[in-house]
Chains A and B, each alone.
Chain A
Amino acid sequence: MSSKSNRTYTNLLVDITIFAAFLIATAPRFSGLAVHEWLSIAFGAAIVVHLLLHWRWIVSTTQRLFSTAPNQARLSYAINLALFIDMTVVIFTGLMVSEIALPSLGLNLAGGRGWMGLHRTASDVAVILLGFHVALSWRWIVGVVKNLWARLVAPRPQLVPVPIPVESARPVRKDS
């Protein structure tokens, strides 16, 4: 497997993990408050990894944003930027109202009801923005999954023994 396809599969694996973590983190009634808080903090680190994996796209689109970038790339850029800002607000406000994670580290931020309201609103917006983020990458996702599926399902070529002519190791006598 080439290093490029390895990288693509790593991206897909990281993206699926982040998506699953997002679904669990946005359901505190399901996961419980402790998992919700710790997972959300880990989610912040996962976002950094996600951005690092797509760094080339970020740089190239930023450079071409006001010149040659196609409209779809501009739309993707705008949605991704909004998602980054929104996710940062979700994590920050979550830390402001933290009841388990930060107090266990000896930190107690004076979060109020307003922070909780903002946390919920930003979280609801993140669900919508994540939907658009996935929609804009849908062709890539389908392409990679199809490719992976073809690799997994396609029959592997069977190894057929081929006779290899072996030369005699005996030294050739020179009768001169």
Chain B
Amino acid sequence: MKLIGRTLIIVIAALLVVGATYSLASAGWINTAGTGRGELAPTRFTPGTSQPTLTSSNPPERFEGRGNQGFNLFGVGEALKNFVVISGVVVVGVTAQNVATRVKWRAPAHQK
């Protein structure tokens, strides 16, 4: 029972964030306009050709920047990049913590 209550609190907190995000988007604070991700760019028929040509100014948005739909080993670089960024932040954070601890310990000695 306690577990269900705690889970509900977490879900409600998440829903509050979702509601706030959606409200901000609806109020125009976040620009969410544009075509849906599943929609393809408009095509037009060029007179004299049998195939519709894609307008170059408006390329299809589907899978834009998200790679292909299947597993791709070459995409491992993306995961590695994030790992390196996180590692860098961890190093900076841990170093800053250590420095702060040392300063905290030295400060009373200087005051004497």
- Given A23-B82, A131-B88, are A30 and B72 neighbors across the interface (CB < 8 Å)? yes
Pair A88/B17 contact, Cβ less than 8 Å: yes
User: Is A107 close to B, CB under 8 A?
Assistant: no
Residues of A within 8 A of B36 (CB): 110-112
Question: Roughly how many angstroms separate A68 CA and B104 CA in the complex, as a whole number?
Answer: 18
Q: What is the minimal beta-carbon distance from B97 to any residue of chain A, in angstroms?
A: 7
Given A89-B21, A118-B30, A128-B85, A48 and B11 contact (CB-CB distance below 8 Å): yes
Contact with B along A95-107 (1 / 0, CB 8 A): 0110110010000
Number of A-B residue pairs, CB cutoff 8 Å, is 153
| Nearest B residue (CB) for A96 | B32
Q: Which residue in A24, A103, A134, A135 is a CB contact (below 8 Å) of B79?
A: A24
Cα distance A132–B93 in the bound complex, in angstroms: 6
On whether A51 and B10 interact (CB within 8 A), knowing A23-B79, A28-B66, A29-B66, the answer reads yes
Of the residues B11, B25, B66, B93, contact of A138 by C-beta under 8 Å: B93
Closest to B93 in A: A135
Inter-chain CA distance A24–B71, complex, in Å, is 11
* A32–B85 CB distance below 8 A: no
Category for how many chain B residues contact A: 35 or more
Distance (whole angstroms) from the CB of A97 to the closest CB of chain B: 5
In the complex with contacts A27-B76, A32-B70, A127-B86, A135-B17 CB distance below 8 A: no
Q: What's the least CB distance linking B28 to chain A, in Å?
A: 10
Q: Which of B17, B64, B85 has the most CB of A within 10 A?
A: B17
A52 beta carbon closer than 8 Å to chain B: yes
B-to-A contact residues, CB < 8 Å: 3, 6-7, 10-11, 13-14, 17-18, 21-22, 25, 30-38, 61-79, 82-83, 85-94, 96-97
Binding site for B on A (CB under 8 A): 23-24, 26-36, 44, 48, 51-52, 55, 72, 84-85, 88-89, 92-93, 96-97, 99-100, 103, 108, 110-118, 120, 127-128, 130-132, 134-136, 138
